[in-house]
Amino acid sequence: MSVHKVIEVLAYSDKSWEDAAQQAVSDASKSLKNIESIYIKDHSGKVENNQIAQYRINASITFKVE
């Protein structure tokens, strides 16, 4: 049997929601091993001058506990 843990993270990007998700995984991987999945729970954005200035996500990251 294996044990998995889920953490909730918030991430952002100036490019896209996909880039924000990649930033979440990249940053989490600095302190976590065995990341297996990311589940995007919510999308939002910051608007400036009628343009999206920042893409934000709320996500759950699952990793295997050794």
CATH code at 19? 3.30.1660.10
Bridge partner residues of 59 (DSSP): 9, 40
Q: What is the pTM of this model?
A: 0.87
3 state DSSP class of 9: strand
Residue 66 pLDDT > 90: no
The count of structural domains within the chain is 1
Torsion on CA atoms 51, 55, 56, 61, rounded to nearest 10? 170
pLDDT of residue 1: 84
Q: How far apart are CA 27 and CA 6, in angstroms?
A: 15
The CA angle 23-29-33, to the nearest 5 degrees, is: 155
Quick: pLDDT tens for 15-64: 999 999 999 999 999 999 999 999 999 999 999 999 999 999 999 999 99
Domain limits at 36? 3-65
The tokens describing 35, both together, are: 């990341």
